[in-house]
Amino acid sequence: KAGVTQTPRYLIKTRGQQVTLSCSPISGHRSVSWYQQTPGQGLQFLFEYFSETQRNKGNFPGRFSGRQFSNSRSEMNVSTLELGDSALYLCASSLPGTSGGEETQYFGPGTRLLVL
């Protein structure tokens, strides 16, 4: 199976702009989770989508939002970008409710966002 893919891989934006990142899960996986990785805060959970519904949300401001489509692809959006939003954004896919490892999260290569 093809792995999790994320686009774009690199992005440079300026403060105040908005950005949309995309994640395509492993075929058959229905859950997509998003994480932010920064040197200062480490890896932090943003939110999880399953069957087009947000099931869990981390402690991030409302500027961070997401959605999931019927084919399980997910997008996350950050509005009114701040310098502190510069980070590696990782998405992970899984098939919850199963066993044998499918419920384990497998990560994409990430999108590196730089806010100037």
Residues in the site for other proteins, rule: CB under 8 A? 31, 33, 35, 42-43, 45, 48, 50, 55-56, 58, 88, 90, 92, 94, 96, 101, 104-110, 112
How near is the Cβ of 42 to other proteins at its closest, in Å? Answer: 5
Q: Which residues on neighbouring strands pair with residue 23, listed in sequence order?
A: 6, 74
How near is the Cβ of 80 to other proteins at its closest, in Å? Answer: 25
What 3-state class would DSSP assign to 83? Answer: helix
DSSP element (H, E) containing 33 = strand 31-38
* Closer residue to other proteins (CB): 78 or 108: 108
How near is the Cβ of 85 to other proteins at its closest, in Å? Answer: 17
Q: Which long-range contacts (CB under 8 A, 24 or more apart) does 65-73 make?
A: 66/34, 68/32, 72/25, 72/29, 72/30, 72/32, 73/22, 73/23, 73/24, 73/25, 73/32
How near is the Cβ of 78 to other proteins at its closest, in Å? Answer: 19
* Closer residue to other proteins (CB): 58 or 79: 58
* Closer residue to other proteins (CB): 73 or 79: 73
* Closer residue to other proteins (CB): 11 or 88: 88
User: Which position has the token pair 């970008």?
Assistant: 81
